[in-house]
Structure 1
């Protein structure tokens, strides 16, 4: 039987390269998973498709117009008068106030233009129209 030489004993080494790989993997995993956890509180509508639609994250109000003409502020039903009053008050408080209108594609175009005109009459100039991302 052959015994090990006590003088040939080596110190244990800590190899950190695999640990760094695992940490980077976890970092990427959590970064990607948090992107899918962000949800905008809105009501589902059939929005028109646009190939060059952009995502805007700094939006104050998201207004949804359903096919029947009903209005929703984020996910809560609201009357047109209350919506315009709240938007005008918020516009007075913040210079960076903006509104995005999500309208159903089957909705009458005149109703959308009418709402945009009422926002403009209240002094709200930062208005956007939402579209589904169909080109990517």
Structure 2
């Protein structure tokens, strides 16, 4: 026995409008994610020499330098690694947000740079960077 419904019979159909909305949402999401992705580049840098002029130093930052022999300088004053750590900890107690910049000679050993970087990190500084020359900077005449 066939039962009839009082409602009119409708054909089933595929609603494409919500599908288009979902596809545009996915497209926009992927575009936003791809814009936030950064490509890491390795560049050949020529590190600056350890003897910097007084105009390079600013009072609101800590300047460290390492020469080719492995000697460490704290604001143009030669220090040993334990002295460096003591001076950094004294400064860390005053201002924790001070950036630390490490300059090095071109021929400085990587191990000497890591020792200075490790001393700054052990004290607690989080804003540590290496000073480098821009690639288009003119080289000084000897």
What TM-score, normalized to structure 1? 0.54
Flag structure 1 segments of 5+ consecutive residues without an equivalent: 1-41, 46-54
Is 1:44–2:45 an aligned residue pair?
no
Report what 2:112 is aligned to.
Answer: 111
Report what 2:66 is aligned to.
Answer: 65
Q: Which has the higher contact order (CA 8 A, sep 6+)?
A: 1
CA distance, structure 1, for counterparts of residue 86 and residue 110 of structure 2: 23
Residue 133 of structure 1, CA deviation: 2.5
Q: Residue by residue, what CA displacement relative to the aligned partner does 1:57-92 show, whole Å, maximum 9, x if unpaired?
A: 674211110000111112221222111111112112
CA distance, structure 1, for counterparts of residue 57 and residue 110 of structure 2: 23
Residue 114 of structure 1, CA deviation: 2.2
Distance 1:129 1:59, change over 3 A: farther
SS of aligned partner of 1:117: helix
Q: Which structure 1 residue ranges, 4+ long, deviate > 6 Å from structure 2?
A: none
2:84/2:119 contact within 8 Å kept: no
Is 1:125–2:126 an aligned residue pair?
yes
Flag structure 2 segments of 5+ consecutive residues without an equivalent: 1-48, 138-142
2:50/2:104 contact within 8 Å kept: no
CA distance, structure 1, for counterparts of residue 78 and residue 112 of structure 2: 17
What TM-score, normalized to structure 2? 0.52
* Residue-pair matches, total: 86
Report what 1:10 is aligned to.
Answer: none
- Tell me the C-alpha RMSD between the 2 structures: 2.5
